[in-house]
Amino acid sequence: MTGKLADKVTPIRLVIGMCIAVLLYFLLRRLYRETIGQYKARKVELPTGGMGIPVFSDGTTWSPLRSVEMLYEAMHGNSASWYNPWSYGTDEKTIFLVLGDKTQDQLAALLNTYEAKYQRDLIADFKDELSGTELSRALDYFSFVKG
């Protein structure tokens, strides 16, 4: 038993090494997203030229922002923190609640806003999060999108 303290892996060295690894991961991820990983959001044309976007009685028009936030949270959990133990899984009920009463113009605006805000492909997120009849049902809403 002739070992020096410097040659042994101590718990504090292990913790420091793990902290450095996590920090390096987040720095490299950010660098990738800012340089190589730039997402090019597509611009889907409104099928009826905007005639399907409702105008309310007070003169305001419908905005897709809240619907986009609800979709993101239903698929990825609360976006306020990277670790949320109470948001496991996908909330399919919320996804179909958001999509259910929208016109094609609203869905196109929702798709454009989601991709611009989160730099993610909404249809690809559906394919990652849903399966079976739920996936086909969600994709049916966006059947007007080419490609």
Say if 113 falls within a structural domain.
yes
Q: Name the CA dihedral angle for 82, 32, 38, 99, rounded to a multiple of 10 degrees.
A: -20
In a domain, 30, yes or no: yes
Q: Residue 28 half-sphere exposure, CB side, CA atoms within 13 Å?
A: 6
Please give the structure tokens belonging to residue 4. 């020096």
The torsion angles phi and psi of 61, rounded to 5 degrees, stand at -110, 160
Provide the whole-model pTM: 0.66
pLDDT tens digits along 102-116: 999 999 999 999 999
The number of domains in the chain is: 2
CATH number of the domain bearing residue 129: 1.10.220.10
* 41 found inside a domain: no
51 in a structural domain: no
pLDDT at 81: 47
Q: Let me know whether 25 and 81 are in one domain.
A: no
DSSP letters for 54-116: -B-TTS-B--SHHHHHHHHHHHH--TT-S--TT--S--HHHHHHHHTT--HHHHHHHHHHHHH
Provide the domain limits for residue 134.
65-141
Higher pLDDT, 7 or 44: 44
What CA–CA distances, in Å, run from 9 to 20, 143, 145?
Answer: 16, 57, 56
Residue 137 has pLDDT above 90, yes or no: yes
Rounded-to-integer distance, Cα 92 and Cα 16, Å: 40
Same domain assignment for residues 22 and 73: no
Q: 44 in helix, strand or coil? A: coil
- The predicted pLDDT at position 14 comes to 84
If you ran DSSP here, which 8-state letter would residue 119 be given? S
What average pLDDT is seen over the chain?
82
pLDDT value of position 133: 94
Residue 146 lies in a domain: no
